[in-house]
Amino acid sequence: MVFSLMREVFGNPAPKNPIEAARHGARPALPKRFYQLATVVPEGSGYALRLDDKPVRTPSGRLLAAPTGELAQALAAEWDAQRNVIDPSKMPLTRLANSIIDGVADRPDAVQAEVEKYLGSDLVCYRADAPRGLVEWQSEHWDPILDWAREALGANFAVGEGVIHVAQPQAALAAASAAIPTEPWRLGAVHAATTLTGSALLALALAQARLTADEAWAAAHVDEDWNIEQWGRDDEAMARRAFREAEFRAAAKVLGAV
């Protein structure tokens, strides 16, 4: 029952883009909670999730297990937090775990290549030329990341104004690419953080504990927050942002626990 539920609720196995699994939304008809307790047991070199002592499998039929006890316990807590129904839109860590197990573990080179693409047009390298307040705010949040990339990674990125493409030095791209994790869980989390922020450099800084999750998320939304200050909030946009933030914090949880 658990396997069929996972395929029905969390989507088809092994999506071409692993982040699509992490972004899979709620189904119109949500299944009722059928278990009493989510627990964790040692399994091989990791820790497997169990529902009423029954193993849980991903949409591809693989065992839902995490490499550390801390991460597995976080998965169990997410399942225990479900009430009358099982709502995947409120289970970002499980969605990310499914995407890593089914979509990253077997194709790490392709996932790493997707992160590398972001380095070629990274958010923090494209600056506004006005108004002055936004220019200063971007510099405050983004210049320290470029300094860190240069000093810690040996990657000296170029910066431009506007949306015209900035060709990055190959040496910078190679140096930053070398910092992309190869372990599937960390790689999957960096990929998720990259696509959610629009910046591989922010994701790498998060992975290497140069930024906290709060700092990385704030840096990713400098432009959006500036516009909010000028024009006010849009409730629908903020709801979408909250959903993406939950996904981002799931990625940060993985990076802090693996």
Long-range contacts of 141-147 (CB under 8 A, 24+ apart): 141/218, 141/219, 141/222, 142/219, 142/222, 145/201, 145/202, 145/205, 145/210, 145/211, 145/219, 146/201
- pLDDT of 32 over the 90 cut: yes
Answer with the one of 45, 77, 103 that is the final residue of a domain: 103
Residue 208's CATH number: 1.10.3580.10
- pLDDT of 71 over the 90 cut: yes
In terms of Cβ atoms closer than 10 Å to its own Cβ (0-12, 13-18, 19+), residue 140 is exposed
Q: Half-sphere exposure of residue 211, counting CA atoms within 13 Å on the CB side?
A: 28
For the chain, the three-class secondary structure string (H helix, E strand, C coil) is: CHHHHHHHHHCCCCCCCHHHHHCCCCCCCCCECCCCCEEEEEECCEEEEEECCEECECCCCCECEECCHHHHHHHHHHHHCCCCECCHHHCHHHHHHHHHHHHCCCCHHHHHHHHHHHHCCCHHHEECCCCHHHHHHHHHHHHHHHHHHHHHHCCCCCCEECCCCCCCCHHHHHHHHCCCCCCHHHHHHHHHHHHHHCCHHHHHHHHCCCCCHHHHHHHHCHHHHHHHHHHCCCHHHHHHHHHHHHHHHHHHHHHHHC
pLDDT of residue 9: 63
- Whether 215 and 116 map to the same domain: the answer is yes
Residue 29: band (very low, low, confident or very high) from pLDDT cuts 50, 70, 90: confident
- Mean pLDDT to the nearest integer, 88-93: 95
For 166-203, how does the pLDDT look when each residue is reduced to its tens digit (9 = 90+)?
999 999 999 999 999 999 999 999 999 999 999 999 99
- Whether 87 and 59 map to the same domain: the answer is yes
CA distance 119 to 18: 19
- Whether 114 and 227 map to the same domain: the answer is yes
% of the chain with per-residue pLDDT over 70: 90
- pLDDT of 2 over the 80 cut: no
- Whether 148 and 247 map to the same domain: the answer is yes
- Whether 172 and 79 map to the same domain: the answer is no
For 3-24, how does the pLDDT look when each residue is reduced to its tens digit (9 = 90+)?
555 666 676 544 445 445 445 5
- Whether 88 and 131 map to the same domain: the answer is no
- β-pair type (160-161, 126-127): parallel
Give the bridge partners for 42, in sequence order.
Answer: 47
pLDDT of residue 16: 46
Look at the chain and report how many structural domains it folds into. Answer: 2
Q: Which domain holds residue 198?
A: 108-257
- Whether 51 and 82 map to the same domain: the answer is yes
- Whether 79 and 127 map to the same domain: the answer is no
For 210-230, how does the pLDDT look when each residue is reduced to its tens digit (9 = 90+)?
999 999 999 999 999 999 999
pLDDT of residue 26: 41
* Torsion sign over Cα 95, 97, 100, 103: negative
Q: Is the pTM of this model over 0.75?
A: yes
Residue 37's CATH number: 3.30.2180.10
% of the chain with per-residue pLDDT over 90: 85
- Whether 155 and 84 map to the same domain: the answer is no
On whether the CB atoms of residues 7 and 32 are closer than 8 A, the answer is no
Q: Would you state the structure tokens that stand for residue 161, as one six-digit string? A: 């104004």
- What value does the mean pLDDT of the chain take? 91
pLDDT of residue 5: 58
- Mean pLDDT to the nearest integer, 234-251: 95
pLDDT of residue 21: 47
Residue 163: band (very low, low, confident or very high) from pLDDT cuts 50, 70, 90: confident
Answer with the one of 75, 103, 131 that is the final residue of a domain: 103
